A and B are shown apart, each in its own frame.
Chain A
């Protein structure tokens, strides 16, 4: 509970920074169809990228988002800050910084955090999430560069940078569950990243690309509230500790096009030998 309160306070302070920027008209796509910002910067849910591009730019517009995210797990704190630009709902470019504070392990390891920069592009290949019978399909890249490599190196990671490639499909089914709209997403990602890249890329057990499935399902309670679940498969390349899949339960509030607030309960499984890392997640997104 204290954790949730602390997260909320941080977020309120951050909100004061984000909201004023998000004042201009952010574009014409229907409310909430830009999703929110993942902890890797691409538009999606919290952990899983979706096929929708960020913000609200439609085919004659451009726009973007700014996002601040924090998840306080049992023994770690994950945070992410990033920006995206969307050109004509065709191309999304994102840049962000992700950190994992080593709250519990820090003293023993003599390091405070793991951190990486993530540069993403995503392009809408085909379709539309609302209007097309087969939904919307997009492909993306996430190029990740570790800013701290001492620990990943020590535990057997092969590289301090890596590039994930993914294909995502998203579709909104109108009036699908109790006359509520259902948003379904599926992503397949090729990756060598350990713990999303925070622990480097490739490892002593496996140094190749592996295909991982990710999925999420959300229900629009009304046009401002989306609740759902996400699941993300992960590789397990490092011998020193087992890596688990990730999942979360989320609720997002999108009062209008300029603001989105997402709260979630995330379970990132075992991280670096510390078991069952769960906690509260809070993310704020402003669109412009």
Chain B
């Protein structure tokens, strides 16, 4: 190995270490202080409820997923999802609905449908002017639910 190539190998290793270091800093989220500011950033209970309402409007307009929601008890769904987001974001709420795997198992949700819902959620947050950082933090809390919702 020439000295030049050796230096390059070192540089590359450093890049990997930085990468690895950042990964290691990804601690699992538990409702803590940091997440309580997330609850504030989402506009507290009222903000979350409007966001979920906006989400519902987007869902019924979206032909990729609207059919999955046909005939549901909309008020119940709105309350459950608001409770869940409120609790996850560190707010003073308690989600009392079913486990994600249980409530979604009969729907055979495809990846396309999951992406459609994620897209609508992001659009709903944008409609509510939730700052990018808070959007990302909420997505970080919801992304791990993917496996259960899709029944994988």
Query: A residues bordering B, Cβ < 8 Å?
Result: 28-31, 58-61, 89, 128, 130-133, 173-182, 184, 186, 213, 215, 217, 222-223, 229, 231, 233, 236, 242, 244-245
Asked whether any CB of chain A lies closer than 8 Å to the CB of B132, the reply is yes
CB distance from B81 to the nearest CB of A (A): 18
CB distance from B35 to the nearest CB of A (A): 11
Asked whether any CB of chain A lies closer than 8 Å to the CB of B98, the reply is no
CB pair A233 B8 closer than 8 Å: yes
CA–CA, A236 and B144, complex, Å: 43
Of listed A177, A179, A181, A217, residue having the most chain B CB within 10 A? A179
Chain B positions within 8 Å of A174 at CB level: 136-137, 139-140, 143
CB pair B12 A231 closer than 8 Å: yes
Q: A173-B22, A174-B143 are in contact. Are A215 and B16 (CB under 8 A)?
A: yes
- The size of the chain B interface, using a CB distance under 8 A, is 36
Chain B positions within 8 Å of A176 at CB level: 22, 25-26
CB distance from B33 to the nearest CB of A (A): 15
Chain A positions within 8 Å of B115 at CB level: 28-30, 58
CB pair A184 B23 closer than 8 Å: yes
15 further A-B contacts with Cβ under 8 Å, apart from A179-B137, A245-B8, are A29-B115, A58-B110, A59-B110, A60-B110, A60-B112, A128-B111, A128-B146, A173-B22, A175-B133, A175-B139, A175-B140, A176-B26, A181-B136, A233-B12, A242-B2
Asked whether any CB of chain A lies closer than 8 Å to the CB of B119, the reply is yes
From A59, which residue of chain B is reached at the shortest CB distance?
B111
CA–CA, A174 and B22, complex, Å: 12
CB pair A61 B112 closer than 8 Å: yes
Of listed B5, B64, B147, residue having the most chain A CB within 10 A? B5
CB distance from A123 to the nearest CB of B (A): 16
Total inter-chain residue pairs, C-beta < 8 Å: 94
Chain A positions within 8 Å of B5 at CB level: 236, 245
For B111, give its contact among A58, A178, A229, A236 (CB under 8 Å): A58
Classify the secondary structure of B's interface with A: helix
Asked whether any CB of chain A lies closer than 8 Å to the CB of B15, the reply is yes
Of listed A31, A58, A231, A233, residue having the most chain B CB within 10 A? A58
From B150, which residue of chain A is reached at the shortest CB distance?
A131
CB distance from A192 to the nearest CB of B (A): 17
From B11, which residue of chain A is reached at the shortest CB distance?
A231
CB distance from B42 to the nearest CB of A (A): 13
Asked whether any CB of chain A lies closer than 8 Å to the CB of B106, the reply is no
Asked whether any CB of chain A lies closer than 8 Å to the CB of B72, the reply is no
CB distance from B45 to the nearest CB of A (A): 22
CA–CA, A217 and B15, complex, Å: 9
22 contacts between A and B (CB under 8 A): A28-B116, A59-B110, A59-B112, A173-B23, A173-B26, A174-B139, A174-B143, A175-B137, A175-B139, A175-B140, A176-B25, A176-B26, A179-B134, A184-B22, A215-B12, A215-B16, A215-B19, A217-B19, A231-B12, A233-B8, A244-B4, A244-B8
